[in-house]
């Protein structure tokens, strides 16, 4: 039997259950989980704020561990065989079809309607499909990446915000010397700060809060931060302009999540600049937009950024394996929780003060 933390939704406590170890299909594998992330999405899941979730589920979409059993052969991205004992992570998004109009004609696989996600849209009925468990079932075709020498904890320091933020920074097309503004100091915003620095931004500014999160933002590379709770919108605009020759940021990455931030991102950006809207992951309603002032006359480019694909995940793994590039993330405070402490971990994440909470099922 495998111990797993099971989530029922509607705010009910997560409970630890014993699940039978599955029969392996051909080209599937079992992962002995070492660490799995507890992230803000898990708090949303706890309270049933996302649609299409097949409760009960085993949470934990980003995880690392050791391959303990393989049926038949499975290969990595280079066609090389994976073997029992290999230390790996895997892309939580699975079943991207590569056969539909969005995958093949629009080349926008993040909009493929077939996508399933470990720990979110797979449920207990699909087997051991979340990382908050001693073992996780890697279905045939799940994309694994060997971690090489990267310590488990180092890769997990970034977590699931990593590929999303990397995708957003890709879209931002930052040039060396740019001033980049990040709205929001949650996990995606913090990773976006670090990626913006890695992409050559000469100055990264962050508007967010509360104060402890801004301290982390500066640690991730923000040159200056502005506490959203101390300045109103006009004052924040002024704060940005004072730091950008009166023009606004070259590029703004919205990772705040409140609708107003999407339009503020446009207003805080210079004419002919670029805005990436990545924080509006859930529907929080509407905001007033003046399309003449905010888009047209500004000659502004605005890019919605949804999810991530294997390339973002792959490159995030490169970064976390790199001694210098990964520094900002590895320096974040982390805390490990056992399966039995899952509810406690969720409470800590909901409180927003911790750098990174991890489930270690061996505790």
Question: Which residues, 235 to 294, sit near its own copies by CB under 8 A?
Answer: 245, 247, 254, 259, 261-263, 270-273, 277-293
Nearer to its own copies, 47 or 299 (CB): 299
Nearer to its own copies, 104 or 211 (CB): 104
CB of 249 to its own copies, least distance (A): 12
170 binds its own copies per the rule CB under 8 A:
yes
Non-local (6+) Cβ contacts of 4 within 8 A are 16, 17, 18, 19, 58, 128, 130, 132, 133, 134, 339
Nearer to its own copies, 104 or 125 (CB): 104
- Give which of 183, 176, 214 is closest to 197, Cα–Cα: 176
Q: Residue 193 in contact with residue 221, Cβ under 8 Å?
A: yes
Binding mask 56-75 for its own copies (x = CB under 8 A): -------------------x
Nearer to its own copies, 20 or 291 (CB): 291
Non-local (6+) Cβ contacts of 39 within 8 A are 61, 62, 159, 160, 161, 187, 349, 357
What secondary structure letter does DSSP report for 202?
S
**Which positions from 216 through 235 interact with its own copies, judged by CB under 8 A?**
none
CB of 180 to its own copies, least distance (A): 13
Nearer to its own copies, 5 or 29 (CB): 29
Q: Residue 29 in contact with residue 82, Cβ under 8 Å?
A: yes
The size of the interface with its own copies (CB under 8 A), counted in residues, is: 83
Q: Residue 35 in contact with residue 101, Cβ under 8 Å?
A: no
The owner of tokens 């561990």 is 65
CB of 292 to its own copies, least distance (A): 4
Of the residues 73, 230, 296, 333, which one makes contact with its own copies according to CB under 8 A: 296
Residues pairing with 251 in the sheet: 180, 274
297 binds its own copies per the rule CB under 8 A:
yes
Binding mask 316-335 for its own copies (x = CB under 8 A): x-xx-xx--x----------
- Give which of 151, 216, 211, 203 is closest to 177, Cα–Cα: 203
Nearer to its own copies, 36 or 199 (CB): 199
CB of 179 to its own copies, least distance (A): 9
Binding mask 93-132 for its own copies (x = CB under 8 A): ---x-xxxxx-xxxxx-xx---------------------
CB of 154 to its own copies, least distance (A): 14
Q: What whole-number distance in Å separates Cα of residue 183 and Cα of residue 193?
A: 10
CB of 134 to its own copies, least distance (A): 28
Structure tokens that stand for 49 in this block: 């704020």
CB of 240 to its own copies, least distance (A): 16
Using H for helix, E for strand and C for coil, what is the string for 12-47?
CCCEEEEECCCCCCCCCEEEEEEEEEECHHHHHHHC
């Amino acid at each position: 039997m495998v111990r797993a933390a099971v989530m029922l939704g509607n705010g009910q406590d997560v409970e630890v259950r014993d699940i039978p170890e599955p029969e392996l299909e051909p080209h599937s594998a079992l992962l002995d989980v070492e660490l799995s992330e507890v992230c803000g999405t898990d708090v949303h899941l706890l309270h049933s704020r996302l649609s299409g979730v097949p409760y009960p589920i085993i949470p934990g979409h980003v995880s690392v561990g050791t391959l303990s059993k393989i049926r038949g052969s499975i290969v990595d991205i280079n066609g090389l065989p994976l073997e029992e004992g290999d230390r790996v992570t895997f892309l939580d998004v699975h079943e991207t079809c590569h056969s539909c109009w969005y995958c093949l004609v629009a080349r926008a696989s993040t909009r493929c309607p077939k996508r399933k996600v470990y720990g979110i849209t797979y449920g207990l009925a699909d087997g051991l499909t979340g990382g908050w468990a001693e073992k996780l079932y890697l279905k045939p075709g799940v994309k694994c990446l060997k971690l090489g020498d990267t310590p488990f904890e180092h890769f997990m320091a970034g977590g699931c915000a990593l590929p999303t933020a990397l995708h957003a920074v890709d879209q931002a097309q930052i040039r060396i010397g740019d001033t980049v503004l990040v709205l929001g100091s949650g996990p995606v915003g913090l990773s976006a700060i670090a990626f913006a620095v890695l992409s050559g931004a000469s100055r990264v500014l962050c508007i967010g809060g509360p104060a402890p999160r801004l301290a982390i933002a500066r640690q991730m590379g923000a040159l200056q931060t502005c506490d959203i709770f101390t300045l109103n919108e006009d004052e924040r605009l002024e704060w940005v302009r004072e730091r950008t020759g009166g023009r606004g940021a070259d590029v703004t990455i919205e990772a705040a999540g409140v609708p107003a931030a999407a339009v503020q991102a446009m207003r805080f950006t210079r004419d002919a600049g670029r805005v990436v809207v990545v924080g509006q992951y859930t529907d929080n309603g509407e905001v007033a937009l003046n399309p003449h002032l905010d888009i047209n006359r500004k000659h502004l480019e605005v890019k919605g950024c949804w999810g991530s694909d294997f390339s973002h995940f792959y490159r995030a793994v490169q970064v976390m394996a790199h001694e210098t590039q990964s520094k900002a993330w590895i320096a974040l405070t982390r805390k490990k929780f056992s399966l039995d402490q899952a509810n406690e971990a969720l409470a800590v994440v909901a409180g927003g003060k911790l750098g990174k909470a991890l489930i270690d099922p061996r505790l």
